[in-house]
Amino acid sequence: MQFTGKRYLDYSSFIKSTFGERVQKISIDIGFSCPNRDGTKGFGGCSYCNNNTFNPDYCTPTKTVRQQLEEGINRFSKKYNAQQYLAYFQAYTNTYSDLESLKNMYNEALSVPKVIGLVIGTRPDCISEEIIDYLSFLSKRYFISLEFGVESTLNRTLKYVNRCHTYEESKKAYTLCKDKGFHLGAHIILGLPGETKEELLNHAIEVSKLPITTLKLHHLQIVKQSIMAGQYKRNPEEFNLFTSENYIEFITEFIELLRPDIIIERFVSEAPMDLLIAPKWHFKNFEIVAKIDKRILEKNTWQGKYYNSR
């Protein structure tokens, strides 16, 4: 493993080594839905989901892709003058449309000055070979990253949170996308109801088998206007939410089992305080990351220390 000042592979170092400068993601909401929301597979969406928890205020489907990007770039350029941008298709399922519509939106994003690539968030059951082929074509000229919401490697959990897909479907999607020229990412939520510590640690082992470049870890947050908010209110005893101290300790164990070449893009989520019900840690993301870094050093451990040992 190559250390980058940290004892794990961090996303900032990956971006700097890839582009030689700062690159900022600009979120886009193109107004798509999800198959577990519109009735194709189910209704209500994922029980933990409220997309307002991560959409910036400039990010609204009433605006064009170009407008959202230009507003986002204008905002970030005031803070960082010299940088490039990635268009981040973030909200809901961003491959959930016909190919021509997707081509138009992706190309509109790539036509905006200083936008050098796409990051596309989607579900593993909403990808097709024709979309994969087009992303492969784009990757010859642009940075392309496709991120799947895996969320859990346990089918019983996926059923409980109303994902309406299985972990086997996740593995199949990654197999289809492997070696196509673009980067692959995964999202995992840590702390979903009913998962034991051993099962949570096993997520590190399972996702390490996937052909991913990046991994985003999210601790479970209960947010307003989600189905899970009602479940939590009725039966809080069914939830074993992490305290900040327990999460920091857990993450040090999690990364020990993780494949050492996976870039860790995120350790924690940060829902807006006006939407967050629990847990309330009263720390910013960078503060939690600093505490994780400190604990890793104290334990003299590192990413992949016990990879393949279990």
Q: Is residue 192 part of a domain?
A: yes
**Taking residues 234-258, what's their average pLDDT?**
96
Is 1's pLDDT higher than 70?
no
285 near 270, Cβ under 8 Å? yes
- Its pTM stands at 0.93
Q: Is residue 61 part of a domain?
A: yes
- For β-strands 222-223 and 214-219, DSSP reports them as unpaired
If you write DSSP's letter for every residue of 199-256 in order, what string do you get?
HHHHHHHHHTTS--SEEEEEE--EETTSHHHHHHHH-GGG--PPPHHHHHHHHHHHHH
- pLDDT tens digits, 176-187: 999 999 999 999
Q: Is residue 91 part of a domain?
A: yes
Would you call 238 exposed, middle or buried from its count of C-beta atoms within 10 A (0-12, 13-18, 19+)?
exposed
Q: Is residue 2 part of a domain?
A: no
Q: Is residue 211 part of a domain?
A: yes
- pLDDT tens digits, 117-146: 999 999 999 999 999 999 999 999 999 999
Residue 278 has which token pair? 């629990």
Q: Is residue 309 part of a domain?
A: no
Burial 34-68 (b: 16+ CB within 10 A, else e): bbbbeeebeeebbbbbbbbbebeebbeeebebeeb
- The residues, ordered by sequence, that sit 6+ positions from 8 with a Cβ below 8 Å of its Cβ are 255, 258, 264, 296, 302, 303
Residue 50 has which token pair? 């409220």
Looking at the structure of the chain, the number of domains it has is 1
Of the candidate ranges 27-31, 86-90, 263-267, the one whose mean pLDDT is the lowest: 27-31
**Taking residues 49-60, what's their average pLDDT?**
64
pLDDT computed for residue 83 by the predictor:
85
- The residues, ordered by sequence, that sit 6+ positions from 140 with a Cβ below 8 Å of its Cβ are 181
**Using alpha carbons only, what angle is made at residue 116 by residues 51 and 58, rounded to the nearest 5 degrees?**
35
- pLDDT tens digits, 86-115: 999 988 889 988 999 999 999 999 999 999
Q: Which of 87, 18, 8 is nearest to 263 (CA)?
A: 8
Q: Which of 226, 232, 219 is nearest to 281 (CA)?
A: 219
Of the candidate ranges 30-34, 48-52, 142-146, the one whose mean pLDDT is the lowest: 48-52
Is 258's pLDDT higher than 90?
yes
Q: Which residue range is the domain that position 229 belongs to?
A: 11-299
Q: Which of 117, 123, 49, 68 is nearest to 93 (CA)?
A: 123
Residue 147 one-letter amino acid:
E
**Taking residues 260-278, what's their average pLDDT?**
93
Nearest-angstrom CA–CA distance, 261 and 299: 21
Q: Which of 133, 1, 23 is nearest to 82 (CA)?
A: 23
Is 52's pLDDT higher than 80?
no
Q: Is residue 246 part of a domain?
A: yes
Q: Prior bond to 124 cis, omega within 30? A: no
Nearest-angstrom CA–CA distance, 55 and 44: 19
pLDDT computed for residue 30 by the predictor:
87
188 near 210, Cβ under 8 Å? no
Nearest-angstrom CA–CA distance, 205 and 159: 21
Nearest-angstrom CA–CA distance, 262 and 203: 14
CATH (domain of 272):
3.20.20.70
Alpha helix (H) ranges present in 34-98?
65-77
